[in-house]
Structure 1
Amino acid sequence: MAVSPTELLDIARTIALEAGELIARRRSEGVVVADTKSSSIDVVTFADRECEEFVKSRLAELRPEDGFYGEEGGDSTGTSGLTWIVDPIDGTVNYLYGIPQFAVSIAVVEGTPDPGTWKQLAGVVFNPMNDELYFASLGGGAFLTKAGMTSPLAVNQETLLAHTLLATGFAYSSELRAEQADVLTRILPAVRDIRRAGAASLDLCAVAAGQLDAYYERDTKPWDYAAGSLVLREAGGVVGGLDGAPEGREMLLATNTHLFSQIEKLLLS
């Protein structure tokens, strides 16, 4: 690989800041729903599509030989062995309602968009409404830049399940939500409390920053976690699925080394 993770991070960070400014401007102008996807409540806005096209075009200028994999489609296979994984607006429903919990998520991996085989190289998650830029590169640590100040990130080292502040999310499918509700009835009595903020990338970064102790969710896609999971890993956390599987659609669990197996047992019970 001719380019270093640090160089790739610089590109991701630059484009994420530009894309964040774009979606913030579009939010102030008013959000228009362009279509629905998996269900009538799974919306995509014109800003989602515009932002993804913007990111894709900027990457084509700077890294024309790389592949691209975005939530809104338009995927392409490159010749460099690297793939950019992009969620133009993670937390679209929050964006639609004006809740300031959404982000641009940009990651680059060596390989394909498959957490079982990829090698994560760099990742950026930017919430333009709160001016929070989370970023990490392989072996380079994880950081948050806010209000011009940059600080390193480190996961909490909580060991007690009963003291765990745990975040989760829910699918758009009503059938799957019913199953997720059943799981929640087992978990809620065992932990300190539950949070549901509505953007997987920011939940992962919140665990990395010590604002949460853990996060789990079923039915996530690579663009939801490609950047945030690298930030969390570089902050000293653990990310995976159940029974030794990598994170993915069946389950994503992110926490510290002390709590992972305890939460995994609850999810498997």
Structure 2
Amino acid sequence: MRVGTPAPEELLKVAVEVVREAADTARRMRADGVSGITTKSTATDVVTAADRAVEREVVAALRDLRPDDTVLGEEYGDSAGSAAAGPQTVRWILDPIDGTVNYLYGLPQYAVSLAAEVGGEVVAGVVRNAVTGDEWTATRGGGAHRAGRRLHGSTESDLGQALVATGFGYDPARRAYQAGVLGELISYVRDIRRFGAASLDLCMAAEGLVDAYYERGLNLWDHAAGGLIATEAGLRVAGLAGVAAGPDLLIAAPPALFGPLHDHLARLGAAGGP
């Protein structure tokens, strides 16, 4: 019988250990050549043998280290089925390879992302770029870090001077709608970047490598760890009109930029469309 829930720092230690091994697996499998390619929601939404292998590896490692926990993974779903989460339940939220298209093409922008959720709240998270080894971590209330340095996000306060990252959905109609929103937004910001991995976008925003980030259509595994890292770096992470970040829209920006960016996205209907 479980006596109590471990501290976020303990969960982060587990997450880092597991993710480092998983990232090594993803990198080795890429070096051996991409195999087992199939598609999911559309013909451009790919999944590889490595996505599935990395998820199985992480689930097995977590079961060995913390057998009473559950895992929500992108490829195999929720190991708890429909069981309700209790106040001390630890659920791990995993994206085995975030940026699978980058992985497919050999672009060095794909990551393993793992977060620990306790009673419905994400309390620890790690994102590791499998190619470069760059690693971002955070615990709830304990700050966000990379390579031993605490992160504080961008200090930019003028949206017109902000470098903003974003992403697009796989459905052609949704992508066309999102491009229309971006076409209107781009004249109000410095420039736009599109890297193709939401977890890394959030970490770059946390580090101030981009000033802000927004995207529609993200699943929980896309932003659980990265969203905590951005939040702990001092960014505001939310949807429109006070709604929590989710599939309709996620905006991550320093407080000075969040309001102006939010208002433009609301006016442009960024949470709408297909």
Normalising by structure 1, report the TM-score: 0.94
User: C-alpha distance in 1, partners of 2:140/2:167?
Assistant: 27
Alpha-carbon distance, 1:154 to partner: 1.1
The count of aligned residue pairs is: 259
| Cα RMSD, aligned residues only | 1.1
Instruction: Tell me which residue corresponds to 2:102.
Output: 94
Instruction: Tell me which residue corresponds to 1:139.
Output: 141
Q: Partner letter of residue 128 of structure 1?
A: A
User: C-alpha distance in 1, partners of 2:197/2:135?
Assistant: 15
Q: Partner letter of residue 205 of structure 2?
A: V
Q: Partner letter of residue 41 of structure 1?
A: T
Superposition pairs of residues 207-222 of structure 1, within 5 angstroms: 207-222=205-220
Alpha-carbon distance, 1:34 to partner: 3.0
Aligned with 2:123 (options 121, 124, 127): 121
Instruction: Tell me which residue corresponds to 2:257.
Output: 259
Alpha-carbon distance, 1:44 to partner: 0.3
Task: Verify the 8 A CA contact 2:92 2:114 in the aligned structure 1.
Answer: yes
Alpha-carbon distance, 1:73 to partner: 1.5
Alpha-carbon distance, 1:120 to partner: 1.3
Q: Partner letter of residue 85 of structure 1?
A: I
Aligned with 2:8 (options 5, 10, 27): 5
Q: Partner letter of residue 186 of structure 1?
A: E
Instruction: Tell me which residue corresponds to 1:24.
Output: 27
Aligned with 2:57 (options 34, 54, 58): 54
User: C-alpha distance in 2, partners of 1:215/1:33?
Assistant: 32
Instruction: Tell me which residue corresponds to 1:196.
Output: 194
Superposition pairs of residues 30-179 of structure 1, within 5 angstroms: 30-77=33-80, 80-111=88-119, 118-145=120-147, 150-179=148-177
DSSP 3-state at the match of 1:21: helix
User: C-alpha distance in 2, partners of 1:211/1:151?
Assistant: 14
Percent identity over the alignment is: 47
Alpha-carbon distance, 1:153 to partner: 1.0
DSSP 3-state at the match of 2:185: helix
Instruction: Tell me which residue corresponds to 2:272.
Output: none
Q: Partner letter of residue 264 of structure 2?
A: L
Instruction: Tell me which residue corresponds to 1:235.
Output: 233
Alpha-carbon distance, 1:74 to partner: 4.1
Alpha-carbon distance, 1:35 to partner: 1.5
Q: Partner letter of residue 141 of structure 1?
A: G
User: C-alpha distance in 1, partners of 2:236/2:57?
Assistant: 32
Q: Partner letter of residue 106 of structure 2?
A: G
User: C-alpha distance in 1, partners of 2:202/2:143?
Assistant: 15
DSSP 3-state at the match of 1:254: strand
User: C-alpha distance in 2, partners of 1:81/1:15?
Assistant: 19
Task: Verify the 8 A CA contact 2:5 2:89 in the aligned structure 1.
Answer: no
Alpha-carbon distance, 1:128 to partner: 2.2
Residue-by-residue CA offset, 1:174-225 (whole Å, 9 max, x unaligned): 0101110110111100000000000000000000001010000000000000
More displaced, 75-84 or 24-33?
Answer: 75-84
Q: Partner letter of residue 94 of structure 2?
A: V
User: C-alpha distance in 2, partners of 1:153/1:33?
Assistant: 38
Task: Verify the 8 A CA contact 1:33 1:43 in the aligned structure 2.
Answer: no
User: C-alpha distance in 1, partners of 2:131/2:175?
Assistant: 29
User: C-alpha distance in 2, partners of 1:245/1:4?
Assistant: 28
User: C-alpha distance in 1, partners of 2:159/2:152?
Assistant: 19
Task: Verify the 8 A CA contact 2:203 2:230 in the aligned structure 1.
Answer: yes
Q: Partner letter of residue 67 of structure 1?
A: T
User: C-alpha distance in 1, partners of 2:130/2:38?
Assistant: 24
Task: Verify the 8 A CA contact 2:127 2:200 in the aligned structure 1.
Answer: yes
User: C-alpha distance in 2, partners of 1:238/1:82?
Assistant: 25
DSSP 3-state at the match of 2:124: strand
Q: Partner letter of residue 192 of structure 1?
A: R
Question: Unpaired segments of 5 or more residues in structure 1?
Answer: 112-117
Task: Verify the 8 A CA contact 2:51 2:97 in the aligned structure 1.
Answer: yes
Q: Partner letter of residue 259 of structure 1?
A: L
